[in-house]
Amino acid sequence: MKHIVIIATGGTIAGSGEFGKAAEYAAGRFSVEEILKSVPAIRSLASIQTIQLCNVDSNEMNQQRWIKLRDQIHEVAKDPQTDGIVVTHGTDTLEETAFFLNLTLHTDIPIVLTGSMRPATSASADGPMNLYQAVALAASDQAKGAGVLAVFSDTIYSGRDIRKTNSYKTDAFEIDHFGSLGYMRDDQVYFLNRSKRAHTLTSPFSDLKIEHFPKVNIAYWHCDGDEETLRALCQNAKGLVIAGSGSGNYSKVWQKTIHELAKDHLIVRASRVPKGIVFDSAFFDPDHDTISAFTFPAHKARILLMLAMMKTSDKEKIQNWFETL
């Protein structure tokens, strides 16, 4: 029998509210051991070890908790008896944590994130099945070397591309036009695709010793966007990500300000549009002041830029990472 370690961080899967109702609840109320009591069949899949790393709403996840989680995973992965790791996490920022881990973990054992959209006290809680399938996936030999994964609503997602696209439904995640990696049928694993992008052991950031991150902020473009917003966000930061309209677009006023700020800051052009690719633009960035985010939304572009800045300030090299990772 495989040995799976569940590292719990809180979230809705550990949430509690009025019995039977799915709304108006507090996240991070139940321990991982209490959650497991609702899924007795899970122990038929693998021997289970639990670690309660923290118990918070995922909006309270921050850089220090990312570092702590990464260190904990590395420590657990050193044990030759560990066959896979499941991380329970709130859905709001799960995609950021999954992407960070996908780029920085130095292990090829299965790492699977999951959570829920309804609290444990709901009459139709989705957490138990998601956790059951996450353990089944982490125990599968097919998941080894596949990078950081996530499981929700019978679907397998990559840590690179998973994105929360619905604030209400239990089927809250998508990978847009990239497609899922596969499906779960109860405890059966069906991989359909594999990511060809570098991750975990092959990522250029998996060998980083991370104690803190360079500061990078995000500026969201909208009609009549004030250029002083850009200046304010750059005051105490080394980098900036622009969530532009369309293919990473903004006004001529912002273009001029970005040109000035790019002398002392690394700036990435991303898009507020959920699908598509941001390429270099001769019209909106004629002086090549920015790095194109390629397929990454602004919040993931921020993570990649922070990690890249820990390695280099070379814009061409960072651009290459955005296009190849």
Return the active site residues.
12
Q: How many CB atoms lie within 10 A of CB 180?
A: 20
How many Å is the Cα radius of gyration of the chain? 20
3-state helix, strand and coil shares in percent for the chain, rounded to the nearest 5: 30, 25, 45
Encoded tokens for 106: 């130095």
Q: In what order do the strands lie in the sheet with 111-114?
A: 47-56, 3-10, 84-88, 111-114, 148-152, 155-158, 182-185, 188-191
Give the distance from CA 139 to its chain's centroid.
Answer: 21
In angstroms, the CA 61 to CA 91 distance is 11
241 strand-pairing partners = 218, 268
Instruction: Taking the CA atoms of 190, 141, 149 and 124 in sequence, report the sign of the dihedral they define.
Output: positive
- Are 313 and 265 in contact by the 8 Å Cβ rule? The answer is no
